[in-house]
Amino acid sequence: MKHIYLVFILVLFLIISTGCGFIETKAAGDSVSEDPASVVEDNRETVDSNDDQAIKKIISDYFTALYTDAQVDEYNEYSRTGVIPNKIRGFIADKTLAEGDGNPEVGIHLPRYISINGMTITGYDIIDISVDGKDENMSVVSDFISKNEDHYLYFVKVYAKAKVVPDEVFSKSYRKEEDNTYTKIWDIKQDDTDAVKVEIRYDVELTKSSAGFSVLRAIESNIKAGRKNRLFILNNDNITRLPYLELEKTADGAYKNPIDGEIYETEKAIVTEFFQKFTLLDRERMNLLSYRWEQGFTEAKGFLDNLGVTSGEG
């Protein structure tokens, strides 16, 4: 029993000593008059407004060229070899071209196969987002992060439509290579493809020279170290799936994106009409439909078409 008391006293002494040390450290820290965060903020270089606009234009043009009708099959070999594609070479800094071109670890990250929510992306296309009264391209949104002499760092969001196929269809149609690139072995049927809307995030560093601004590196945000890890198909930290239609409304009830609003209202009317007609089917027709459904989707659809449920004529 005495041993237990001794151990208890020793532990209590250690706790008290540690607590005193913490209090003293805290007190010493409180004696510092300047806020470190404010010091960092005060010392951070800012970007000139004219330079900011020029940089944002370069970034927008770069990603528009990279993601317009971008088929990953076409970029796959570039990712494998590290060769920078011709369509974006004009945006790249001389230093990056001289030192990184042909090196798979070059900091120019290209569109790639990504699995997200059970679907694999095989292609991208930039979304045309225009805002009334503004010249800027809202499909590519960039924000200034920091500046170090003639180097500028920006955080970029790219909004694109992605062509996707189910993961199982992709795995049957492509062969995975040792370096996590893929080789296509079967063509994918059009019926197996779908489209989703995505936001893709990048960290972009630019440099300024007498010729203007150019891209030193454009890398995925939340990058996994090493080309092989980055190309891993389940590495989707830099991409987010978004609602396909923009249905936000203005104060007067109009859709901010009239095209998406029109698509939604048209499809909503079709679905509403279908279910209204479907609920009017009597028991006999429901029995007939159940048999056609067992035969297959095409047979069931044909039966409903004949009844005018799906054709808008009944």
Structure confidence by residue, pLDDT tens digits, 155-202: 999 999 999 999 999 999 999 999 999 999 999 999 999 999 999 999
CA distance 71 to 87: 13
pLDDT, position 272? 87
What's the one-letter identity of residue 35?
D
Which of these ranges, 30-34, 132-136, 230-234, has the smallest mean pLDDT? 30-34
- The β-bridge partners of 123 are 71, 163
CA distance 30 to 14: 24
* Structure token digits, residue 128: 């045309």
How far are the Cα atoms of 53, 79, 80, 230, 256 from residue 65, in angstroms, in the given order? 18, 17, 20, 22, 26
Alpha-helical segments (H) within the chain: 2-30, 36-43, 49-67, 72-81, 86-89, 94-100, 167-173, 227-230, 258-278, 283-295, 297-307
| DSSP letter, residue 224 | P
pTM for this one?
0.71
- The β-bridge partners of 147 are 152
Mean pLDDT of the 274-292 span: 86
Q: Can you give the residue ranges of every domain in the chain?
A: 49-242, 258-307
Q: Do residues 278 and 314 touch, judged by C-beta distance below 8 A? A: no
Structure confidence by residue, pLDDT tens digits, 78-123: 999 999 999 999 999 999 999 999 999 999 999 999 999 999 999 9
The domain over range 49-242 is classified in CATH as 3.10.450.540:
yes
* Structure token digits, residue 203: 């960290």
Q: Do residues 182 and 113 touch, judged by C-beta distance below 8 A? A: yes
* Structure token digits, residue 242: 């978004």
Q: Do residues 64 and 223 touch, judged by C-beta distance below 8 A? A: no
Q: Is 62 a residue whose pLDDT tops 50?
A: yes
CA distance 273 to 267: 10
> What is the longest distance spanned by two Cα atoms in the chain?
95
Mean pLDDT of the 254-259 span: 84
Residue 228's pLDDT band, with cuts at 50, 70 and 90, is: very high
Q: Is 25 a residue whose pLDDT tops 60?
A: no
The DSSP string of 263-284 is HHHHHHHHHHHHHHHHTT--HH
CA distance 126 to 197: 10
CA distance 246 to 161: 13
- The β-bridge partners of 212 are 209
Residue whose C-alpha is closest to residue 207's, from 106, 109, 82, 96: 96
